[in-house]
Amino acid sequence: SAVISQKPSRDICQRGTSLTIQCQVDSQVTMMFWYRQQPGQSLTLIATANQGSEATYESGFVIDKFPISRPNLTFSTLTVSNMSPEDSSIYLCSAGDRGETQYFGPGTRLLVL
């Protein structure tokens, strides 16, 4: 199994600012994903982070709002840009190999004031 770390673990931000979340995997993996989870709800896939190319975004999520980088097979970042209170959520990174089990990081709890 992969061990995944995320930072920051939590943050409180002012509206209009941006926050970059980092995700580090302890081994090389083919697939990395970013999810959002609102309180009491299930996970919503934001995008697939592709190594060396632009991320693949799900419906309702755009690159200008959620730019993603994946410079190598063990690291990815998600930026939440121009934040508003509606962006308050838990952001989760996951990783795994193609078609195989995904493992999750501990999440980043974001509160936008």
Partner 1 sequence: RKEVEQDPGPFNVPEGATVAFNCTYSNSASQSFFWYRQDCRKEPKLLMSVYSSGNEDGRFTAQLNRASQYISLLIRDSKLSDSATYLCVVNDFNKFYFGSGTKLNVKP
What are the residues binding partner 1 (CB under 8 A)? 1, 31, 33, 41-43, 45, 48, 92, 94, 98-107
Q: How far apart are CA 89 and CA 12, in angstroms?
A: 11
| Closer by beta carbon to partner 1, 38 or else 72 | 38
Tokens found for residue 22: 């980092």
**In the complex, least distance from residue 20 CB atom to partner 1, rounded to whole angstroms:** 19
Q: Cα separation of 71 and 99, whole Å?
A: 22
* Comparison of 81 and 104: residue with beta carbon closer to partner 1: 104
Strand pairing report for 103-104 and 43-49:
unpaired
In whole angstroms, how close is the CB of 1 to partner 1 at the nearest point? 8
Amino acid letter, 38: Q
Nearest to 11 by CA among 57, 79, 70: 79
Q: Closest distance between partner 1 and the C-beta of residue 43, in Å? A: 5
Distance in Å, CB of 108 to partner 1, minimum: 11
When the beta carbons of 81 and 88 are compared against partner 1, the nearer one is: 88
